[in-house]
Structure 1
Amino acid sequence: MKKTFILLLFFGIVFSLLLLPILVLEVRVDGSEELVFQQPAKAGSLFEVHWIHSVTLQPVIEVYLLEAPGRIPIVKMTFDEFGPNLPAHPEFNQYWVIEDGKYNVLGYDLVFERVPVTIGAVIADHTLVYNGRSTPLEDVHRPGGYVHIGLTEKKLCQFFIEEVEIWQKGRRKTAFY
């Protein structure tokens, strides 16, 4: 009787934990909304997108704040050489801090629901950096593809199920290529 109670209590606790909501940083394919990457996240933390500019061939770093699901402001962009589609001067409330030969663009008034990224097909090497983990986006979706990086809340059990699905897709991909 006592063992049965302990077992029921144990499974009840495990089941309850699996229903806890967690925040997740995720990458989804534009259009299909296919989930191709996810990682547990924390509100108030920062993530970065690193890439190489196709003309200047220099690194660019974009820094974003995970405020809340559907609310991701850009905090800073850093680059060391001007090029097409990079800021040429401060706009609106932006200001620039130049240090160590790099331009740091701050003061953005731009909030994304999800951050759009077109994965570079040749040079760009877009890489998501969060919590000490670097993930080349071409490893999770095809070069030239269009993805969104977002923050969402889901149950812990849903996270585990989707993680297994991502892992299985990755195994199928490597088995046939």
Structure 2
Amino acid sequence: MKRKYMLWSALLFLILTSFIFLPLQTFLVIEPREYEDKPAYFSISKDQSFSILYTHSIHLSEVEEIYRQTPANNIRQTKLLYEDTAIGMPSDAEGREVFSRTKDGRYAISNMDREFPFIDIQIGQVVANHRLVYDGEVYPLKEYFKEGSIVRMHFKKVSLFSQWKGVIVVGKR
């Protein structure tokens, strides 16, 4: 009887441990590339878009890059919104993309299908003010990472243990 109890206890322990250490949930992870700091985990649904919003350093206008998660857990850029076609911004679309003006006068490139395994971002020190926008919430990246640092944004399966070690940012699933 005691042996059976110990066997069941060990089995239960292994199951609980596996739930803690096995990566089961997919998050948008933003982690520093140059220094040791905690990553930020954003719980973003597969069917929801998210965007990176920043102020362009040359013409000082807002730029919004809109993304989605792919089935392969890559990042797909679907749209680009901006206010000025000056230096550093496109003046037309490529391939099947569509270049247009929005009702509020901004330029838009839609129907984009640019896929990336990750995106590196240098957190602006002076002007850029990089922000992640998801589900109506705005998350200023400089609140999570040092200004001027480089971070990597990618989708990743994460264990409960890793979530406990990182900065969990509220999101909906």
- The TM-score with structure 2 as length reference comes to 0.76
Judged with a 3 Å threshold, the aligned counterparts in structure 2 of structure 1 residues 139 and 40 are, in CA distance, closer, same or farther, namely same
Aligned to 1:145: 149
Give the drift of 1:34. Answer: 5.0
Give the drift of 1:35. Answer: 4.0
The answer to whether structure 1 residue 79 and structure 2 residue 76 are counterparts is no
Aligned to 1:44: 47
Q: Which of 109, 112, 119 is the aligned partner of 1:115?
A: 119
Q: Which of 130, 134, 137 is the aligned partner of 1:130?
A: 134
CA contact (8 A) 2:25 2:157 kept: yes
Aligned to 1:170: none
The answer to whether structure 1 residue 63 and structure 2 residue 66 are counterparts is yes
- The unaligned stretches of length 5 or more in structure 1 are 1-7, 167-177
- The TM-score with structure 1 as length reference comes to 0.74
Higher relative contact order (CA 8 A, sep 6+): 2
Larger helix fraction of residues:
1
Aligned to 1:169: none
Aligned to 1:3: none
CA contact (8 A) 2:40 2:166 kept: no
Matching residue's letter, 2:137: R
Give 4+ residue runs of structure 1 displaced > 6 Å after superposition: none
| Pairs aligned (count) | 155
Aligned to 2:102: 99
- The unaligned stretches of length 5 or more in structure 2 are 1-8
Give the drift of 1:91. Answer: 1.8
Judged with a 3 Å threshold, the aligned counterparts in structure 2 of structure 1 residues 87 and 48 are, in CA distance, closer, same or farther, namely same
Give the drift of 1:30. Answer: 2.4
Counterpart CA distance in 1 for 2:36 and 2:66 is 23
Matching residue's letter, 1:140: Y
Secondary structure at the counterpart of residue 39 of structure 2: strand
Secondary structure at the counterpart of residue 28 of structure 2: strand
Give the drift of 1:31. Answer: 4.9
Judged with a 3 Å threshold, the aligned counterparts in structure 2 of structure 1 residues 132 and 69 are, in CA distance, closer, same or farther, namely farther
Counterpart CA distance in 1 for 2:120 and 2:47 is 20
Counterpart CA distance in 2 for 1:163 and 1:79 is 30
The answer to whether structure 1 residue 28 and structure 2 residue 31 are counterparts is yes
CA contact (8 A) 1:50 1:61 kept: yes
Deviates more, 1:91-100 or 1:18-27: 18-27
Counterpart CA distance in 1 for 2:92 and 2:80 is 12
Give the drift of 1:26. Answer: 1.1
Secondary structure at the counterpart of residue 163 of structure 2: helix
Secondary structure at the counterpart of residue 158 of structure 1: helix
Counterpart CA distance in 2 for 1:162 and 1:58 is 32
Matching residue's letter, 1:89: D
Matching residue's letter, 2:132: L
